[in-house]
């Protein structure tokens, strides 16, 4: 680390030195060229004005003497006057030196523009500028009075060559001085780094090694240092942080995986993996909270489709609903095609492999593993692949989700599969509840007075409900609720008031439970509430909530305002018994214990309340 630090420091310093040197050199060069060009232009203007004056005064024989004096100026290596075409026609070609000798001079005569050129070699730096002179009035003197030329025509040019070697030599001397100063600074810096920074470079090396391991999800390594100052304090704090993160992340990962119930993408980075799982779990949790309030299966289906198409960007998929009573399948939604399966599955649900086997169907296992895919040729040639997921509703396959993708999308699709299952699994209980609601409407199993399900409904769903509870490894809370002294209401105020009391009690019960829970009118004034997928002990909390809501409710029965109380017995399936009806009996026994103890209370069933061997 120390060696790398020194190398980097030297490299940085060398870079800055080279950068500064280049900048200075370029600055000198640009300054020299700029000043030389300005000087050349001044000299050219002087030559032009002087020669023009000589011509007007008729003393052109003094031209050579003047030009020789110009050549004696510092830095001026050569100066010459070049005749243009019109001047040659009028006065002849003149001397040989007045003819253009290179492309630069010829181009200036042809184009009438100022051009310059810089030539650099080891021993010499030559700057040449060629300035054109045109047939235009200059400082009160009209060239057309002496020259037979058109206005603006090039009469000639001044070619001036200057030697800039002395400027370059000055630059080299300055650069050499900079090199010597820089070398001294570098040597001093090397000594300082070696002498004073060695413990800190070691600390940086140790910290870097620990952070490299931490990036990989390993927080077990520790920073070691002999420093007693702020560096030592930093190492101590880092070690404490790593210890805390190591322990905390292990616990978080275990709990999150246990909670989500399915695996996700594993990159080996515990922080990133856990964060992604938690984010997805939060999204799925919010999704479940939303669909629990949806009124129908169609609403739940629409939300699923929105998630798959908009959030997960799937462009080829189908969602099917299975009618197990009729043995048929219908398409809820299809994307990317009118349908991804042959029509035979719509008439015979068992022709769908995912429905028949109750397990995932992956075309990667065997080309076209399901013969009823819509395009077997594309499947066999590898142009398309598919993955089908059965969704259990009420203990049997109630839906099938199918995603279709191209081979290049395989990795992306496989990463999505666990999350697709997450959304589908969380939708299953809600779809199940909405299915039961539809069954109620179809079979007229709703109590018309209270709007609760009746006993027939319980008999219809008992087997499927218990199978679903066992499959999800959860519990079903059972609340047996009876209105205290209800007979007195009928005897005193009549059955109309009694009916009003039943309705208001039912409303209080309904507002105290979740959308997914199942309220039932079990008898005259007795109700049964099934709490789906509850944690142990939660049923008693809900029962107490119902009891308080009814106790605090004022019932306006028209002719009289009443306040009533209820007694509630609680049991939980399958915690109290493996038989649902026995658990219902246990809740009823607990209810009678609540009445014996004074009514208006909640009693949780315990084994000592039941002394018989069998139910």
CATH of the domain at 531: 3.30.70.270
Q: How many domains does the chain have?
A: 3
Q: Which residues pair with 117 in a beta bridge?
A: 128
A 10 A CB-CB count for 75 gives 18
Residue 228 maps to a domain: no
Q: Domain boundary residue among 168, 203, 233?
A: 168
Q: How confident is the model at residue 97 (pLDDT cuts 50, 70, 90)?
A: confident
Regarding whether 589 and 457 lie in a shared domain, the answer is yes
Flag whether 437 is in a domain: no
Pairwise CA distance, residues 171 & 165, whole Å: 10
Of 141, 168, 195, the position where a domain reaches its end is: 168
Mean pLDDT of all residues in the chain? 83
Question: What's the DSSP call for residue 80?
Answer: E
- Distance CA(479)–CA(604), nearest Å, equals 9
Does residue 226 fall inside a structural domain? no
User: Is there a single domain that holds both residue 29 and residue 108?
Assistant: yes
Same-domain status, 65 and 122: yes
Mark whether 15 and 163 lie in a shared domain: yes
Q: Confidence class of residue 93 from pLDDT cuts 50, 70 and 90?
A: confident
Per-residue pLDDT at 406 exceeds 80: yes
Kind of pairing between the strands at 602-604 and 566-573: parallel
What is the structure's pLDDT at 262? 53
pLDDT of residue 517: 93
Please give the C-alpha separations between residue 245 and each of 221, 248, 251, in angstroms, as whole numbers: 12, 5, 10
Region 297-304: mean pLDDT is 91
Task: With H, G, I as helix, E, B as strand and everything else as coil, classify residue 107.
Answer: helix
Provide CB contacts within 8 A for 472, sequence distance 6+: 429, 533
State yes or no: pLDDT of 441 exceeds 70. no
| Residues 26 and 117 placed together within one structural domain of the fold | yes
**Residue 601: its pLDDT value, please?**
95
Same domain for 557 and 515?
yes
Q: Mean pLDDT throughout 87-91? A: 76
In this model, does residue 612 exceed pLDDT 80? Answer: no
Structural domain includes residue 414? yes
Tell me what the mean pLDDT of segment 343-370 comes to.
91
Co-location of 478 and 601 in the same domain: yes
What CATH number is given to the structural domain containing 105? 3.30.450.20
| C-alpha–C-alpha distance, residues 568 and 589, integer Å | 10
Residue ranges making up the domain that contains 325: 298-427
Pick from 33, 30, 32, 25: nearest CA to 116: 33
Residues 400 and 309 in one domain: yes
Contact of 82 with 93, CB cutoff 8 Å:
no
pLDDT above 70 (res 54): yes
Whether 399 and 448 share a structural domain: no
- Report if residue 199 sits inside a domain: no
Residue 263 — pLDDT band, cuts 50, 70, 90? low
Domain harbouring 407, CATH code: 3.30.450.40
The predicted structure's pLDDT at residue 317: 95
Q: Reduced to 3 states, what is the DSSP secondary structure of residue 135?
A: coil
pLDDT value, residue 160 = 84
Query: Has residue 480 been placed in a domain?
Result: yes
> What is the DSSP pairing of strand 317-323 with strand 328-335?
antiparallel
pLDDT tens, position by position, 498-546: 999 999 999 999 999 998 899 999 888 999 999 999 988 899 999 999 9
pLDDT (0 to 100) of residue 269: 64
* Integer CA distances (angstroms), 25 to 19, 30, 172, 466, 518, in order: 10, 8, 8, 89, 88
Regarding whether 406 and 489 lie in a shared domain, the answer is no
Secondary structure (H, E, C), 362-430:
ECCCCCCCCCCECCHHHHHCCCCEEEEEEEEECCEEEEEEEEEECHHHHHHHHHHHHHHHHHHHHHHHH
125 falls within a domain? yes
384 & 453 share domain: no
Q: Which of 14, 77, 73 is nearest to 46 (CA)?
A: 73
- Final residue before a domain boundary, out of 394, 427, 460: 427
Q: What is the pTM for the complete model shown?
A: 0.42
- Looking at the structure, tell me whether residues 416 and 460 fall in a common domain: no
Residue 515 covered by a domain: yes
């Amino acid at each position: 680390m120390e060696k790398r630090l020194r190398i980097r420091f030297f490299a940085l310093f060398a870079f800055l030195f080279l950068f500064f040197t280049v900048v200075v050199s370029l600055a000198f060069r640009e300054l020299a060229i700029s000043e030389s060009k300005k000087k050349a232009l001044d000299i050219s203007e002087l030559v032009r004005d002087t020669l023009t004056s000589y011509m007007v005064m008729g003393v052109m024989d003094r031209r050579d003497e003047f030009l020789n004096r110009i050549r004696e100026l510092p830095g001026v290596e050569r100066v010459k006057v070049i005749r243009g075409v019109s001047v040659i026609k009028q006065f002849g070609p003149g001397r040989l030196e007045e003819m253009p000798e290179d492309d630069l001079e010829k181009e200036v005569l042809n184009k009438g523009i100022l051009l310059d050129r810089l030539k650099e070699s080891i021993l010499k730096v030559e700057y040449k500028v060629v300035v054109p002179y045109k047939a235009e009035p200059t400082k009160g003197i009209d060239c057309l009075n002496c020259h037979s030329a058109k206005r603006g025509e090039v009469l000639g040019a001044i070619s001036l060559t200057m030697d800039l070697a002395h400027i370059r030599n000055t630059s080299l001397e300055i650069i050499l001085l900079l090199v010597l100063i820089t070398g001294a600074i570098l040597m001093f810096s090397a000594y300082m780094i070696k002498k004073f920074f060695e413990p800190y470079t070691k600390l940086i090396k140790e910290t870097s090694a620990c952070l490299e391991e931490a990036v990989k999800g390993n927080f077990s390594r520790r920073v070691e240092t002999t420093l007693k100052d702020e560096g030592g304090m930093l190492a101590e704090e880092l070690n404490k942080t790593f210890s805390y993160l190591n322990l905390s992340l292990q616990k978080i990962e275990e709990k999150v995986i246990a909670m989500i119930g399915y695996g996700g993408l594993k990159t080996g980075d515990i922080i990133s993996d856990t964060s992604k799982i938690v984010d997805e779990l939060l999204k799925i949790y919010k999704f479940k909270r939303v669909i629990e309030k949806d009124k129908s299966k169609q609403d739940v289906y629409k939300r699923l489709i929105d998630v798959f198409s908009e959030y997960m960007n799937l462009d080829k998929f189908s969602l099917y609903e299975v009618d197990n009573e009729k043995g048929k399948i219908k398409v809820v939604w299809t994307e990317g095609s009118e349908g991804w399966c042959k029509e035979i599955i719509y008439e015979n649900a068992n022709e769908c492999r995912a429905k028949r086997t109750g397990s995932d169907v992956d075309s990667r296992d065997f080309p076209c593993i399901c013969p009823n895919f819509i395009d077997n040729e594309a499947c066999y040639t590898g142009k398309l692949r598919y993955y089908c997921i059965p969704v259990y509703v009420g203990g049997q396959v109630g839906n099938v989700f199918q995603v279709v993708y191209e081979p290049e999308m395989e990795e992306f699709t496989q990463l999505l599969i666990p999350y697709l299952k997450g959304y589908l699994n969380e939708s299953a209980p809600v779809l199940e509840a909405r299915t039961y609601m539809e069954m109620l409407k179809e079979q007229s199993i709703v109590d018309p007075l209270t709007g609760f399900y009746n006993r027939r409904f319980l008999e219809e769903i008992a087997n499927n409900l218990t199978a679903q509870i066992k499959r999800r490894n959860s519990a079903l809370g059972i609340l047996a609720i009876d209105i205290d002294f209800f007979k007195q209401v009928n005897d005193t105020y009549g059955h109309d008031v009694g009916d009003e009391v039943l309705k208001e009690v039912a409303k209080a019960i309904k507002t105290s439970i979740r959308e997914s829970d199942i309220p039932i009118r079990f008898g005259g004034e007795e109700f049964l509430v099934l709490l789906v997928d509850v944690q142990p002990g939660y049923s008693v909390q809900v029962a107490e909530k119902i009891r308080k809501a009814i106790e605090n409710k004022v019932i306006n029965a028209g002719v009289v305002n009443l306040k009533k109380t209820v007694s509630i017995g609680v049991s939980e399936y399958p915690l109290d018994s493996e038989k649902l009806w026995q658990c219902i009996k246990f809740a009823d026994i607990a209810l009678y214990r609540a009445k014996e103890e004074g009514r208006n209370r909640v009693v949780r069933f315990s084994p000592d309340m039941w002394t018989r061997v069998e139910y």
